[in-house]
Amino acid sequence: MKKIMIMALSACTLVAGLTACGNTEDNASTTKNAAVEQKQTKNDIGKTVETSDLDIQVKSVTSGYAESKDKNKQMLIIGMVVKNTSKLESGAGAADFQVKADDGKTYDVYGMEAKNFGDAIPAGKTLQGKGYYEIPKGTKTVTLYYAPGGVKKAEWTLSVPAK
């Protein structure tokens, strides 16, 4: 009788163990889908990047059509805070940034917008402002590059909100 009980208990344990391990393909697929979704929704708003003399933080991202004169484009407005961490005066402005849209093309600052930020920043001080970038209508994500003089020093992945 004792042998039968041990065999029955062993059989139940074996069946339970095989059932728990038998569905690994579905679990792997679910995990992969979750990773893809997380990548799609990544948004670096609030992320501060430190360079050799500046700490740069993206504070906001907005989108609109009214500012753009081209109906196939939209205006991306990125609010930033730039702190000079060096002992010398340093400069920063919207023209030091580039936006790479999900169409694979890179867009420079929209030069016709007078509200683009830019100024000299005294040592230890902070500059706040907005950069305006004209991108294709319907763009969902962009990569913002801090690239003074064409040299990429920092980047952020940003979701483009609907108007």
- Among candidate residues 18, 86, 78, the one with its CA nearest the CA of residue 52: 86
Q: What is the CA radius of gyration of the chain?
A: 26
Q: Give CA–CA dist 121/34, Å, rounded.
A: 42
69 φ, ψ (degrees, to nearest 5): -85, -15
Question: What is the rounded average pLDDT for all residues in the chain?
Answer: 81
> Does position 27 have pLDDT exceeding 80, yes or no?
no
Residue 162: pLDDT band with limits 50, 70, 90: confident
Q: Give CA–CA dist 85/137, Å, rounded.
A: 37
For the domain covering 48-159, report its CATH number: 2.60.40.1240
Tens of pLDDT, residue by residue over 43-69, are 899 999 999 999 999 999 998 766 667
Query: Whole-structure pTM over 0.75, yes or no?
Result: no
Which helix (DSSP H) or strand (DSSP E) does residue 44 occupy? none
